[in-house]
Structure formats: C-alpha cells, structure tokens
Structure 1
C-alpha cells in the first residue's frame, strides 16, 4: 500500500452512524407536515397521524392478519423491556445473545426479573450461538441482527411452526432492511432511528395474535409501571395499537416517521428498502475481498449483517482510533468506530437511507487512512 494516493472523491453524505442513522436521501425538515404541532395528540388530528404511523407500518411491512402495531415509550429499549416484563414468566425462557444488546436482555431476565427457569445460550462477537437449541415449548428471546457485532440470524428455520411458546425478537436494526418471517415471530420491536433514519425516543411494538392471547391470559407476579401496561381488566388496550399512546409522544418525531414511511413507499415498498441496504453491503464486500488487512467481524458469510457492518483490521486499537479521527477530520465518515463493548474496529451503517455511491466513495478513504496510521 506504499504510496497510496489520497482520494479526491468524498461521500456526498458522510453520516454512517449506526444510530441515530442517516436521514433519507433528499430529506428536508422544512417539508415535514407539521400541522399536528402544538395540538393535543388526543385531538382528532393527532390521533389520525399516530394511527397512520401504525397502519402504514403494518401495510408496508406486509404484516399478517391480526398482527398489531403500537407506538410505545423509550425507543427499542422500552419496547423490548415492555415485552419482557409483560410476557415472561409463564414458561421456561431460552435467551440467545452474541453481542452487547442481547447480553443486556439476558442480564435483565436473570438479574431484574430474576427468573429461575432460564436457558442462556451465548456466543462471542462474530459468531452465532446454536439457535437450534430453542425449545418449541419455551419462550425464546433473541435479536435478529446483532447491531454491535454485525451478525444476524440468516433465517428462522430453527423456529417451530407449531411452537407452544412465544418468540420475542429485538429487530431494531433489521426491520425495513431484512426479510422478516412474521409468522415465526410473536413479538417484534424496533425504533425509528435505525433503518428509516427517524428520530429517537419512540419504540415500535408488533404483536401476533398469540402474544395478545398470552397478555390476556397471564398476569406477571411483579408490578408493572404505567408505561409497561398493555392490558386493562384482563383485556388488551387496543387503543395503543391505533395510535392512542400510553404517554405523550413527540408529534414532530411522528411527522418525521410518516415522511420516512412515505419515502419507503416511493421506493416501491419494503423490497426497495431491502435492496438498497443489500447494495451498500455489496460495496463493502468487494472492498474487503480486495484487501487482506480488513475483514468482517462476522465469521460466517451467511450471518453477515447488511445494516450494521462491523469490520476488524490488522491494526492496533490506537491505529484504529487514529483512522477514525482522520476520516472524521476529512469530513469523509462520521461515527464509524466500533461500539464501546465490541472488539476494536469499524462499524459502517449500511441501512436503506445510505446511498451505495457514498459507501463506494468511502472505501478508498479507508485504504488511505489505514496507510496513514501505519
């Protein structure tokens, strides 16, 4: 690599953060429909906007009949915690973790809920645990895409069609970028700030009819705070899944989310968003194949994430940090360092809001920065 020339072409958009993620191409905050601002979220105009956020999500994702979509507090974290605290305890739990967020759900299940009947299956960064160990009689908790490891489950073949337990899936960096087998999933959570480049603080909770049945037939042994309560007098609070939120949402964030959904629609729908994300990953795959000093953290190509792409380098932690600073100082790439609990390396967001041309433009800069810190 000696004598590698400093590239002249820079990404038009250097925002490669894995959350909050880049806004969609052509985004302009001035084009948002802000007619709801300053109005009550319980007024007709607010309820309509919130209701559309739920119904348009269901339409664009192609959710099966009977699946419900709700807007809940505290981003994906709040949605996952709501599911864990409201649903677990009725059956043995199998929980799978291979990166920091999955490990957080393990800790909460064991140390906060203090459930005794738990099987914990763990793998190191870059690997998947043996998902086939999921017992159809048990509840299963897992992340679809390990955001801090760049490792995703390649499919849901390991989930039994005739399962008795629930599958609870944290899919915050997968929904709208990966093909989700909804019939295999009973609870799915995500946040606006990931694949759609929305704003933070709001979570999405998707429930299957089977999950609703559990909610209406099982009462946890522990008290639930108001923001976790999905039932009243033994019945699902249906209003939550029509946009009647538990607490006051940001209507500006709702307007931003509706704008993102309309953009997905303009791509031809869900497949258009998935294709864009896959094209971004392809650009990095070509670069990695051509350079022996960089590789994916994911060890199995079948598990390679097409959103949070994590890379390891033949470099010291100090050299990696120097590379990250160089690229930021050049206004080429912002926020691409590995997650704080993950192995040292790079993490480049490749969700649908990122342009493949920008990923392609970034690759020569990685080579230049690597040479500079040697």
Structure 2
C-alpha cells in the first residue's frame, strides 16, 4: 500500500476516549466556580443542587409522566447493580450480552444473585443475539449500546408494549445520542462521565411506575448492602428521588453535571445532542467505507453505534496475521497518535479484536473527527511498516 504523507492539521481537541469522555466544547475549570464546596450535601443548598440535577435530567430527557430519577453511587455500574439487587427475583430473567459490560451483568445474575430461573442470550463481538427470542413475561436485562463492541440495538420495537416483566436497560453509552422510547424501558441507568462528558463517581437511575410498584411491593431474599438499598423496612426511600443521596457526592462533580445539562439545553436539547452524535459517527463511517484497511466491528449496519465506534483491521495481509501481530500494530498506532497529540485513548477495549475505538458522542466536534481521519491512515501505514520490518506480517 502507498505510504500516506504525514498530515499537518490536527484535531483541536484530541480527546476520543470512550469513558470518561470529552468535556463539552468550550469547557474550562471556571465552569465549577459556583460549586457548593465546603458545604454539606444535606444542607438546604446542597439538596437543592442535587434536586436541580434530577429535575433538569427529567426535563432534558422528556421522560414520561410518573418516571422517577435518582442520583446513586458507583457510576453506571452502581446504578445497574442497584437495580438488579433491589428488583430482580420475583420473575424469571432473560439476560442479553454481546459486550463486556453485558457479560458483567450476566455474571452477577448468575454467580452473585444466583437467580434460579435465568436464560442467557449471547453473541460474539460484532453481533447482536436474536432479539426475537426474548420473553417479556420475564424480566429482561440488556445494554442499549455495547461500549466495547460498538454494537447497539437498532430501536425499541422489539420490546413488547404489553410486557409483564420489567426491562432493565444500561444506556450509559447511548443516552443523548440515540432515540430511546422510554415507554419501553422500566429501569434505565447511565453515568455523568459518558455522553455529556461529566465527571465520575455517581450514576443515574431512572425508574418507571411499573418498576416503582415492584420496589414498593417486593423484598429480595438476599441481603442488600446499605449503599444499594432503596427501601427502609416496608417503605421506599422516596427522598432519593428528591436529591437525598445514599452516600456523599462530590459537589464539584454535581456542578460539572449541571454545567453539562445546561450546555445540552442551550444547543437545542435532546434532538440536538442526538444530531451531533449522528453527524460525528457518519463522518467516521463514511471514511471507513472508503478505507482499504479498516472495517466496523459491528457487522449489521443497523446495529452500528453512534458513540463508541469500534474498528477492526481488515486489510487482507494483516487480517490473516496472528492476533499478536494485530495487537502490535494497534499499540504502535495508539502510541504514534498519542505522541503526535492527535488522539488519546483510542485502543480497542481489552479482550476485543485488535483495532481502534473512537468516541463520537455529542461532546465531540465533527471537524475534529474529520481532522483525525488522515492521521489514522498515516499511523496505520507506519505501524504496519514497522511490523513488516520486524518480520511479523
């Protein structure tokens, strides 16, 4: 292959990590100047800031009537685990897993909660399991967008309107970037540091009226740690939906999340954030379509992520090489891109096929994606030449 000339134009913001993700455009630490530091989160002012984060989340997402939002510990992982530990048990459970995090929920359902009536639907990297086999008389667990594989569900049409069980959706890599029919979702979780580029530590738990009914009427047979417990004796801790958190949040992180929500509102709300992610991913996929060495890991076009775009090496010579060779090429590409200051944290997730993973969420600028693309060709050619010289391909 002809060796590309080293590009000159660089992305203004080379931050393409799939989590924590890039801050919103124009962000500086001054955005945190109004943070309620040195004050208790239990003070009237502290509770008001937390309540405001909940209210603005509800408004920005345009959640259906009766849906409740809580700020909970442990990022998206904590939110999803909290839902599992509090709500699973009274029905059989179907778990869908096609990426690393979906398999984490599967493992905990199997090894920790030891659910007796559990069915699993798994797929290899790049594919979805058969959604038509899901039984909505049971509780259903799935990730909307597989962060590690770049594979998403195409929509919510496969979810039954007359379902008897609850649907649990890990939406942390999809929210603000995908059209999600919240009426089809009973439990939805996400984190501040993903789609809107906030800081870490806490996650968000969204419960439908049906999930709230389950929470009010059911107590699981296993011990639930205090940090996860959404009930006290026979009643729900309703104040958690008013900003009373189960542990101490960082008020700096709260302020940063409020800043991200305000930015999303200012640019036009949910439709605007979704459009930005769609434009970013379209620019990347258009380039992939023309590439002679890069292909999407997601096989079906309708399931390709708009946020965490996973790329595999597809050039015949390298595609047929040993995985260790592809890993060497990936590592060299990542090193070159980082040393040049054009892209940070873009290696494929550990355990996935060697390649790249580029975040295209709403806080990314399309012009930065466009500026990055010639650097991919240059870095690949350099890395491939190094592997060839070393006699590895």
TM interval, shorter chain, is: over 0.9
Query: Are the counterparts in 1 of residues 23 and 363 from structure 2 also a CA contact under 8 Å?
Result: yes
Match of 1:96, SS state, is strand
Query: Are the counterparts in 1 of residues 31 and 256 from structure 2 also a CA contact under 8 Å?
Result: no
Query: 1:370 matched to which residue of 2?
Result: 380
Quote the offset at 1:293 in angstroms. 0.9
Query: 2:303 matched to which residue of 1?
Result: 303
Matched, 1:107 2:117: no
Query: 1:233 matched to which residue of 2?
Result: 233
Query: 1:15 matched to which residue of 2?
Result: 15
Change (3 A) 1:218 1:368: same
* Structure 2: runs of 5+ lacking an equivalent: 319-325, 385-393
Aligned mate of 2:344, from 334, 345, 356: 334
Quote the offset at 1:33 in angstroms. 4.4
- Give the whole-Å Cα distance in 1 for the aligned partners of 2:142 and 2:278: 22
1:73-88, aligned counterparts within 5 Å? Answer: 73-88=73-88
For residues 109-148 of structure 1, give each alpha carbon's deviation from its aligned partner in whole angstroms, at most 9, with x where no partner exists: 0000011100000000000001111112100000000000
- Give the whole-Å Cα distance in 2 for the aligned partners of 1:345 and 1:217: 47
Query: Are the counterparts in 1 of residues 198 and 253 from structure 2 also a CA contact under 8 Å?
Result: yes
Match of 1:197, SS state, is coil
Quote the offset at 1:235 in angstroms. 2.3
For residues 65-96 of structure 1, give each alpha carbon's deviation from its aligned partner in whole angstroms, at most 9, with x where no partner exists: 00000000000000010011111111000000
Matched, 1:324 2:342: no
Quote the offset at 1:24 in angstroms. 0.6
Match of 2:200, SS state, is coil
- Give the whole-Å Cα distance in 2 for the aligned partners of 1:258 and 1:352: 16
Provide the TM-score with structure 2 as the length reference. 0.94
Matched, 1:360 2:340: no
* Structure 1: runs of 5+ lacking an equivalent: none
Query: 1:186 matched to which residue of 2?
Result: 186
Matched, 1:59 2:69: no
The alignment of Structure 1 onto Structure 2 pairs a total of residues equal to: 374
1:242-281, aligned counterparts within 5 Å? Answer: 242-281=242-281
- Give the whole-Å Cα distance in 1 for the aligned partners of 2:288 and 2:67: 40
- Give the whole-Å Cα distance in 1 for the aligned partners of 2:270 and 2:47: 25
Query: 1:116 matched to which residue of 2?
Result: 116
Query: 1:31 matched to which residue of 2?
Result: 31
- Give the whole-Å Cα distance in 2 for the aligned partners of 1:3 and 1:39: 58
Query: Are the counterparts in 1 of residues 35 and 251 from structure 2 also a CA contact under 8 Å?
Result: no
Query: 2:155 matched to which residue of 1?
Result: 155
Query: 2:40 matched to which residue of 1?
Result: 40
Query: 2:96 matched to which residue of 1?
Result: 96
Match of 2:125, SS state, is coil
Q: CA RMSD in A?
A: 0.9
Match of 1:227, SS state, is coil
**Segments of 4+ moved more than 6 angstroms:** none
Match of 2:227, SS state, is helix
